[in-house]
Amino acid sequence: TGVTEIRSGFNAIKANIQARDPIRTLSILSHPHSLHKVKSSDKCCIIHKLFNFYMDKVFKHCQTEDSYVNRKISSIANSFLSIKRKLEQCHKQNKCLCGQESTEKFKQILVNYEGLNITSAAIKSLGELDILLDWMEKSH
């Protein structure tokens, strides 16, 4: 499935990407409010918003000097794109509505992201892909 491909692509570059992120005191996805505290009714909306976030604000800012890592990043982005299209259909059929809590949650993520310069924020977000995948798979 798309998620399994993302997971294996990420595992191949996880140590490399996380080593480029020296900031331990800030997380994009897990602090101050963890994704794991999100209600299941808000889950679809946040996944939809996060997939857009990764497409618009993360992958395109993650160019490295390592062609192998760059290839892995673009294959992850392609897998994201195919899942994003499926989510779009849910969104159009109103099965993915965004309540106030999920909007607040996503706003916090953007605040975390904007707290860093774009490249650092993009690399940190990419390094946190396992946090997103762990949360998505926890109770799908």
Partner 1 sequence: SGELYCSLPNPRNVHFESINMKNVLHWSAPEGTGDGVLYKVKYSVYGIGKWIRKPECRKINRTWCDLSSETADYEEQYYASVKAFLNGMCSDWMETTRFNPLTDTKIDPPTVNVSSTEKSISIILTAPEKWKRSPGGESVSLLQVYPGLQYNVSVLNKKTKKRWFFSISNNTLVVPWLEPGTSYCVSAQIHVTTPLLRSGFSKEYCIATLKDKTA
Is 40 among the residues that bind partner 1 (CB under 8 A)? no
Is 12 among the residues that bind partner 1 (CB under 8 A)? no
* Among positions 12, 13, 20, 36, the unique one binding partner 1 when judged by CB under 8 A: 36
Which listed range, 14-22, 47-55, 84-92, 93-101, lies at the site for partner 1 (CB under 8 A)? 14-22
Residue listed under structure tokens 């101050």:
32
DSSP assignment of 53-113 equals HIIIIIGGG---S-HHHHHHHHHHHHHHHHHHHHHHHHHHTT-S---HHHHHHHHHHHHHH
Which listed range, 6-14, 45-53, 65-73, 92-100, lies at the site for partner 1 (CB under 8 A)? 6-14
Residue 84 contacts by C-beta under 8 Å, 6 or more apart in sequence?
48, 51, 52, 55
- Rounded Cα distance, 23 and 84, in Å: 29
- Smallest gap from Cβ 126 to partner 1, in A, equals 13
Q: Which positions touch partner 1 (CB under 8 A)?
A: 1, 3-4, 7-8, 11, 15, 18-19, 23-27, 30-31, 34, 36, 127, 130-131, 133-135, 137-139
